Amino acid sequence: MERIVRILNQSQLVTRQYMDKKTGEQKVINSVILKLTDGIDTFLGEITGERAVNCPKYDPQYIYSVQCSMVVREWNSQQTGEAMQATTIYVDKINMM
């Protein structure tokens, strides 16, 4: 997905641990969350990994072109056993217009 957006908000760098399901190892992921709007829709985009560590502070007064990918994650609720889904939007590229 590609959109022309303004950045409404940018989080600080967040580092969190997770368990790699394939290896069982504890790993660390770095991320920065951007709240983006195209003037109609507002959505969160996540920058991860080394790109998040090196992420500059974006100026909310400028317009940016973003390329994003969406991933749907499925799991079963531990409390109810109900099937759950969440869509995460990853920012792959961002450029000032």
> What are the backbone angles phi and psi of residue 57, rounded to the nearest 5°?
-80, 120
What number of residues does the chain have? 97
Tell me the pLDDT tens digit for each residue of 15-72.
999 888 888 899 999 999 999 999 999 999 999 999 999 999 999 999 999 999 999 9
Tell me the pLDDT tens digit for each residue of 72-85.
988 888 888 898 89
Entry pTM? 0.84
